[in-house]
Amino acid sequence: MAPIFASVDVRAGYSDIVIVDGVSLEVEAGEIVAIVGPNGSGKSTLLKSFFGFAQFLSGKMFYKGEDITGRPADKMISSGIGYIPQTNNVFANLTITENLQMGAYTRSDRSQIATEIEGIFEIFHELKHRAKSFAGTLSGGERQMLAIARAMMGKPSVLMLDEPLASLSPKSVEGILDKLTLVRQSGTALVMIEQNVKRALSFANRAYILVEGKCIMQGPAGELLNDEQAKKRYLGLGT
């Protein structure tokens, strides 16, 4: 079976500076893929290049077997590929409900949106009682929940997240991972960049390790977490 999403030999960067150099990855339907590695290894640039927020220099992208290389970000989202950046991922001056409505802006089935917002609140029940609150009043963990909930309003088959656990308290980290588990159980595949290597590799099915813009290792996440070479040389987990 073909992967639901794949990149092939992607080179990307900014202007004439190459940050990502020949990275290929595959995402199967309904699985969790982690992208880890040292700071500056090109993880965020890779995801940004998929959506045109970094320069896609060469390579190919495929979604459900179709070549989508160069497809604009709004078309990517309407096709079923969601993206949550690390920062500025909610509209602070809009209410929670308005943020969720904005998450469905690419959809044509407008009559279903109100019903689906109620369904989203069943998963993200922490947000329901604050539906009329402005997103700017939320805590870091609540904002991240809203960002995920808003992305889910677009009905993605694949959801890409850039550092979803960054700067969160341990309690909030567990809360976000619980929500992502529910998202995955709904059938959405997850691709997540994460600096919290242990949590990411414990959570994911498979993982890719990027170093200096190249994929150095890949495989089942649990195996990489227990690989002494990976831990000491690339992940900063050596004793």
Number of DSSP helices (H) and strands (E) in the chain, helices first: 10, 10
pTM: 0.93
pLDDT at 1: 66
pLDDT at 161: 98
Domains and CATH numbers, the chain: 5-86+155-234 (3.40.50.300)
Of 130, 205, 195, 204, give the one whose Cα is nearest residue 168. 195
Residue 238 has pLDDT above 70, yes or no: no
- SS3 letters across 106-130: CCCCHHHHHHHHHHHHHHCHHHHCC
209: left (phi over 0), alpha (psi -120 to 50) or beta: beta
Sorting pLDDT into bands at 50, 70 and 90, what band is 236? confident
45: left (phi over 0), alpha (psi -120 to 50) or beta: alpha
Over residues 110-121, mean pLDDT? 88
Residue 18: strand pairing partners: 13
**pLDDT (tens digit per residue) in 90-106:** 999 999 999 999 998 87
| CA terminus-to-terminus distance, the chain | 40
pLDDT at 16: 82
pLDDT at 106: 76
**pLDDT (tens digit per residue) in 220-232:** 999 999 998 888 8
**Run of H or E including 184:** helix 170-185
* Average pLDDT score over the chain: 93
Sorting pLDDT into bands at 50, 70 and 90, what band is 235? confident
Sorting pLDDT into bands at 50, 70 and 90, what band is 2? confident
Instruction: Give the C-alpha separation, 143 to 101, whole Å.
Output: 16
